[in-house]
Structure 1
């Protein structure tokens, strides 16, 4: 568990999922949090949450099997991927995203991993700058294809131009 100021970072629990929908709404994707928690329960990921004063304020998911994009897999294989990083509006720039990334890095190290990757949209220079400051370097451009199912059950497909970045994780001594 990592703390930034009064922020607690920990994996999602079953009892958290209903709270996430109320505090970290996902417009057009009412099942996103449940899907990420189910991936965690299946052992394919870890859904990290940031909390302040008992309220969820940010999240991100480690996909232990890596990015699904063929361009990325061809370049980095099954490098664990940290994706879906988001911090509640009004709280960005306060170190919450950085704390989530550091927690993902620590969990990756604990599992014997030596690298962690993440994707960033080409239209998101603020996130790209953060990742660069944290030591992530661009490896490959790719198109992120994803979909969401809305409250009416309709599936919407999206494609975003992205860059996949990787950071080699230093080992912890002692």
Structure 2
């Protein structure tokens, strides 16, 4: 079967993009993303979208500069489920790493859930190394859209840029 090549671009995610990002998570998650975009004005974060020529995001993720003083913390990384394992996650992570370096920082960190070996394998392939574990928690939507607290054990991974 012949390979299909698709030209991708990376740009800042906007509030207008959220309407086409339903694949990225439930409405509560997208509300958190909208709040994160408001933090961009204060220079605390960057939030990027990887897009094909249609301009609609097929991958999104952010980097938070306020969590760790000497590193950018990559978070909320996701690729459209139908397009995973096509290299798009690597494009997103490399673009976020460039943003970290543009800030004069030379280290990136991220957390990966213990039960997500596929993502961990990607991060290891991109030279992230484990440096600890921590319990993380966030609000998500339960049955009927009711908010529930989700807790999970994560491996913290770092990369010198």
Report the TM-score when normalising by structure 1.
0.79
- Structure 1: segments with no counterpart, 5+ residues: 68-76, 170-174
Q: Is the 8 A contact 1:142 1:164 kept in 2?
A: yes
In structure 2, the CA distance between the partners of 1:83 and 1:130, relative to structure 1 (3 Å rule), is: same
In the alignment, structure 1 residue 106 sits paired with structure 2 residue 105: no
Q: Is the 8 A contact 1:144 1:162 kept in 2?
A: yes
Partner residue in 1 for 2:38: 38
- Structure 2: segments with no counterpart, 5+ residues: none
Partner residue in 2 for 1:131: 123
- How many residues are paired up? 155
How far does residue 132 in structure 1 lie from its aligned partner after superposition? Answer: 0.5
Encode CA deviations 1:131-159: one digit per residue, 9 max, x unaligned: 01110000011111111367x88432111
In structure 2, the CA distance between the partners of 1:5 and 1:66, relative to structure 1 (3 Å rule), is: farther
Cα distance in 2 for residues equivalent to 1:156 and 1:46: 27
In structure 2, the CA distance between the partners of 1:158 and 1:96, relative to structure 1 (3 Å rule), is: same
Give the RMSD, CA atoms, in angstroms.
2.3
